[in-house]
Amino acid sequence: MNRLFRVAVVLGLVGFLVSTSAQMVKRSDAVWARIVPPGTITFDGKLDEAAWKAADSVLIAFDSSNTKVIPGSGWKSERSGSSWNGKVTDPTRATVKFLIQGNELIVGVFARDSSVGGGLFNECDGVNMNLRDHTSGSRPAPPYEYGFMWVSETWASNPLADQPGQPPSYFGPAASDRDVYTGYSFVYGVASDDKNGTSVSTPDAGYSMEVRFNLAARGYDISKPQGEVLEFSVAVYDADWSWPYNDARFYGNRCWWQGQWGNSDGWNVGRILVRSDVTLATTVLPAIEPDLTIPNAAHHPAPVIDGNLTESVWTTAPGFRMTYADTTLRKSYPGIGPWRSGQTQPKLSGATGTPAVIDPGDAVVKYFFKGDTLYVGVDVNDQVVTSIDDFDRYDGFRLTITSRDSIELIDHVLLSRALDLRFDPTGNALPMSYLRFLDSTKKARVGVKMKPGTTINDPNDADVGFTMEFAIVLTAFGYPSGLGDHVLFFGATLFDGDKFTNTADDYGTRTWFMREHDRGSAPGWCYLDPNTFVTGVEATPGRLPAEFVLHGNYPNPFNPSTTIEYSTPREGIVTLHVYDVLGRVVSKVSAGMQSPGTHTIVFNAGTLSSGVYYYRLQLLGDDSRSLITMPFAKMMFVK
């Protein structure tokens, strides 16, 4: 492979950057940051360079429109005067834009505001930002706060920020370090002076800001061939009519994009995508694909929900693996999955410590939808299967799904639900949390099945594990019949409690994909794709395919072999090419001359390392002149 072709392959392989689902709505939790040449931005807070007009942006507003910036954006009231009449006369409306210059993220803010000024925290204007810290080995990656607000608290950098004409304060861990971040502001009026130097009330027009972040300080590297994803959220604080204080009009609030706190996590994380070929010269920004594409099982019969994963649809459905303490596996997750997914081992009640985990939790999760129902199957490997009524000792599984029609009353964000499933000492399914309600209203069906050789609560034997099935009717989460935009916000958590003859050895762990619980960040943005079908359905006898089509590979993830299914409309030589994440060819398999119809190739990855690989098929016509190459597909090898 020549160098130019290798670069092209790398840019085309980044699964979270290039959309394969053209019908999906534009993601509102992710934006692009275009790369601009050095010196493009003159840092004065004014946003008057032409580059800002081309920058991708998000709108943050203090009203119900902000809740539509799904799934983690919201708004809330903070303060008001004792005689305030309840009317918000100057609601927050801010545009936040993103660029990359050098190895710096440049965030531009314009906030429309008739009364700009400073005061105590929650009683002032400005932005509080959170760029997750990728220098940390903790998972999820911890928050890192960047405050740039007119805060007059003694712990902020400018306690005089509530005085007329004063600049904003810095606060957070890097408040005194301008090598980490620097802010610039410009007020269209006079900060902290509602009379703007006159004798009568004179409204401001708003303010603008430019904030530059040293990305290396937080462990980001935009020079990586596959690009970079920055984990970011921002809250806009707004206080009005306090300079001088007007009790009847004073009001303070905040609204945010994906997460409201600078120093902690919650609800969601915004994704800022950076790639070397996305610049000011890019006329149309690339579409951003989902974290997971959930296929349609319209051509399969619905499975019987009894806990057995024996139907053919489960054999060929896609999935992912979850394993406690497997950092290599976690790195293969899509998008920000490597940074949001994680694990915990809580200290058990009455225990003196946290003993070694000798049988790590391990499960393969598969998924598809049919009609308005989401199906999830979980195959758990567990040598110590238990049923103990203690959350930290559970054996079981949790799905988290975000409702599309239920709003949290204080933060005005979409509510998420935890759907927990465990079993009793005899192996009967025990729906917990919100799943119990769905089960009682016939909006969910669940099943649990112990694998042969498994007994519950017997520490003297070695068990095999269990399987679980979920069938969730999504209209119970506010979806219309037909599923509307087909977007699903999803997380998964594996509970693994192990009990031994020596109780000091007992432990419990939780391992999660994307999101541990219903208030945590960050759910995966998934697409229930009506045009992507679960593979493995036999072709209609006598009917030849109309084009060269890849149906996918199964199982996926796999170890060590997977079957790749495809159809060809005419005779030709079919060759499989497999690439690593750097675009290097790691395997080439010839299927030889193939007749028209549906065929399979078995790929064995036994000599490769665990991880994500990309593949495509080529069809060389029997005349050796025509060559058809399929788009790339992704598979995951897990040893």
Q: Quick check: 5 pLDDT over 50?
A: no
Q: Do 147 and 170 meet the contact criterion of CB atoms below 8 Å apart?
A: yes
User: Please, what's the b/e burial string for 224-255 (b: 16 or more CB within 10 A of its CB; e: otherwise)?
Assistant: ebbbbbbbbbbbbbbbbbbbeebeebbbbbbb
How would residue 571 be classed by pLDDT, with cut points 50, 70 and 90?
Answer: confident
404-413 per-position pLDDT tens digit: 999 999 999 9
Tell me the average pLDDT across 103-132. Answer: 97
pTM beyond 0.85: the answer is: no
508-540 per-position pLDDT tens digit: 999 999 999 999 899 999 999 998 888 764 444
158-167 per-position pLDDT tens digit: 999 999 999 9
Query: Coil, helix or strand for 8?
Result: helix
For β-strands 30-32 and 270-274, DSSP reports them as parallel
447-459 per-position pLDDT tens digit: 999 999 999 999 9
Instruction: Extract the tokens encoding 402.
Output: 């975000």
Task: For 562-627, give the DSSP string.
Answer: EEEEEEESS-EEEEEEEE-TTS-EEEEEEEEEE-SEEEEEEEE-TTSPSEEEEEEEEEEETTSS-E
532-566 per-position pLDDT tens digit: 888 764 444 444 566 788 888 888 888 888 889 88
462-520 per-position pLDDT tens digit: 999 999 999 999 999 999 999 999 999 999 999 999 999 999 999 999 999 999 999 98
53-105 per-position pLDDT tens digit: 999 999 999 987 777 778 999 999 999 999 998 888 899 999 999 999 999 99
CA distances to 310, 399, 445, 469, 489 from 421, rounded to whole Å, are 20, 9, 11, 10, 19
322-353 per-position pLDDT tens digit: 999 999 999 989 999 999 999 999 999 988 88
Query: Coil, helix or strand for 10?
Result: helix
Beta-bridge mates of residue 344:
510
Q: Do 318 and 528 meet the contact criterion of CB atoms below 8 Å apart?
A: no
Mean pLDDT of the chain: 90
Taking the C-alpha atoms of residue 298 and residue 306, their distance in angstroms, rounded to an integer, is 20
User: Please, what are the domains in the chain?
Assistant: 3-274 (2.60.40.1190), 292-347+359-532 (2.60.40.1190), 538-637 (2.60.40.1220)
CA distances to 124, 291, 328, 399 from 14, rounded to whole Å, are 41, 12, 18, 27
Q: Quick check: 10 pLDDT over 70?
A: no
